[in-house]
Amino acid sequence: MKKLNLFDSHCHLDDPSFEPDFQEVVHRAATAGVHRMLVVGIDRPTSERAVALAKTNTGMYASVGVHPHDASACSDEVLAHLRSLASTPEVVAWGEIGLDFYRMYTPQKDQEQCFMRQLEIAGALNLPHIFHERDSRGRLLELLKAVPNNRRSAVVHCFSGTEDELGRYLDMGFYIGITGIVTINGRGKSLRRMIPSIPADRLLIETDSPYLTPAPRRNKFRRNEPAFVREVLLKIAEVRREDPSALAQQVWSNSCRLFRLDPSAS
């Protein structure tokens, strides 16, 4: 197999679990062929840390945003600060934003208000969006229609929806982020069934590290890390019956296109 060129389009390398061996994590990623990583913000502190990491590490980029779990803290002050951070060249997306009705750490009303405000800001800045959706039962799609934007580009992070939702996201021109869930026998069954119907030019791969460690790595490591995005790519290639090297190059191009990065730059 040819060497794979990989882009982990969603990770949380600012997480405290990476502090003791951060440089080793980065080295393992490079050894596995992961040459670019997007460190995703979920509130003010994590967005600040993501930007700091992107500024000091080659091949790292950042996003800023307020996750639905933190929607109750989505104040004018926080949003103004994130908007200021977004002017940093290393910030290539706004998110992770969206709705999460599975855990309901914040009331639905707060989640929806926070989401709508961030849609408007990201739209005004013309930044790609990173969407988090879990068990919103179509509500996220309803809100997107309520704030139309013909220029909107986005990835549905860690896609876990239905076939109907997948089709609607694709119709809106969105990319689909696939995590290590695709490698898990039971939990990933429905996702593996839908994988072949996703156009190759809409696929992104992500770890969501330190969460969602893919199989078989999860048998040995509890913490996920960017190097393990390779297992995600290989499983997708297996399910789609495609050459891993060709698929890796396509996904690299997709990631660079969404985040408006030069695909040939080192």
The answer to whether 157 is annotated as binding is yes
Tell me the one-letter amino acid at 22: F
Distance in Å from the first CA to the final CA of the chain: 22
Contact residues for 46 (Cβ-Cβ < 8 A; gap 6+): 12, 14, 40
The structure tokens 């440089």 sit at 23
Residue 33, classed as helix, strand or coil, is coil
CA dihedral for 97, 52, 255, 230, sign (positive or negative): negative
Residue in 128, 178, 182, 138 with CA at minimum distance from that of residue 158: 178
CA angle 40, 209, 74 (to 5 degrees): 35
Task: Consult the annotation and say whether 129 binds a ligand.
Answer: no
Annotated binding residue at 100?
A: no
Tokens read off for 126: 């013309």
Please tell me whether 10 is known to bind a ligand.
Answer: yes
Q: Does the annotation place 201 within a ligand binding site?
A: no
Query: What is the phi/psi pair of residue 198, to 5°?
Result: -85, 125
Give the residue numbers of the binding site.
10, 12, 96, 132, 157, 208
Give the residue numbers of the binding site for a divalent metal cation.
10, 12, 96, 132, 157, 208
